[in-house]
Structure 1
Amino acid sequence: MQSTLLQSHAVGFGRMAPTVSVANIDRAVDFYTRVLGFSKVFENGSPVGFVILEKDASELHLSLFKSHKATAQNVAHLMVQDAAALYRHLEESRVKIIKTIRDADFGLRCFVFADPDGNRIDVAEGL
């Protein structure tokens, strides 16, 4: 069901970037840049409390929340071109895998890993 606004107005949507809370921003930036190949393109605060990371078409915002506790829910969904290669790389990098790679009946090769703060990232590739 579309909202009245969208039915009566042409509203274009641009990119959407998830914000992930982290307890240690330096550790998180190190993980996402060193292990996943993101580049830091923006930081804010003194000390730094917010960072924007980019890789290809993906953007991720990290926000410092010192009492952050991870949940059992996925915080971001990352579409990739070679899920199996990323999975192998994460295993070799000793990243915690939450759900092993599988070809799902909904048409995706997918798995879930956790960053150093326990944030769950769902990774998928269309089959």
Structure 2
Amino acid sequence: MSPSPIHTITFGRAAPGLAVRDIQAAFTFYSEVLGFQKVFENGNPVGFMVLKKDAAEIHLSQNRNHVAATINVFHMFVDDVAALYELCEAAGVRVVKSLKDKDYGQRAFVLADPDGNRIDIGERI
């Protein structure tokens, strides 16, 4: 049996897709609180956006019937998680799990965006 061609393919960065009930409200949160910029939008009215900050990218899709999952929908690494945690607390962001050092070598916290999407944010320690 010959080796699968999958072993010769290199995967790059993955960008999470988030369903949101109100795409403009979600954009306001991600831009004003987390510093993301809109680099693409589609639809009239807008139903899809691509947001970027540094190497991170998030895809937002409008879904007025969205119900948030009860698990973390993605993990994002930052270089100063304590500073981001303080900024989120000051902005009144809903923190689901407080900043804590984990036994697997990360300092992390979990926030919920306005649609209840849970995002685990951390840094390696």
What is the TM-score of this pair, normalised by structure 1?
0.94
In 2, Cα distance between the equivalents of 1:83 and 1:50?
28
CA deviation string 1:37-88 (max 9, x = no partner)? 0000000000000000000000000000110011111111110001100000
Query: Over aligned residues, Cα RMSD in angstroms?
Result: 1.1
The one-letter code sitting in structure 2 at the alignment partner of 1:90 is C
* Residue of structure 2 equivalent to 1:92: 90
Which stretches of structure 1, 4 residues or longer, exceed 6 Å deviation after superposition?
none
Q: Secondary structure at the match of 1:76?
A: strand
The one-letter code sitting in structure 2 at the alignment partner of 1:118 is G
- 1:69-84 map, 5 Å: 69-84=67-82
- Structure 1 residue 14, shift from structure 2 partner: 1.8
Long gaps (5+) in structure 2:
none
* Residue of structure 2 equivalent to 1:4: 4
Match of 1:32 among 19, 30, 33: 30
Q: Secondary structure at the match of 2:84?
A: helix
- Structure 1 residue 13, shift from structure 2 partner: 1.1
Pair 1:54-2:52 in alignment: yes
Pair 1:107-2:105 in alignment: yes
Identity fraction in percent: 50
Aligned residues: 123
The one-letter code sitting in structure 2 at the alignment partner of 1:6 is I
In 1, Cα distance between the equivalents of 2:23 and 2:110?
21
Long gaps (5+) in structure 1:
none
What is the TM-score of this pair, normalised by structure 2?
0.95
- Structure 1 residue 5, shift from structure 2 partner: 3.5
- Structure 1 residue 6, shift from structure 2 partner: 2.5
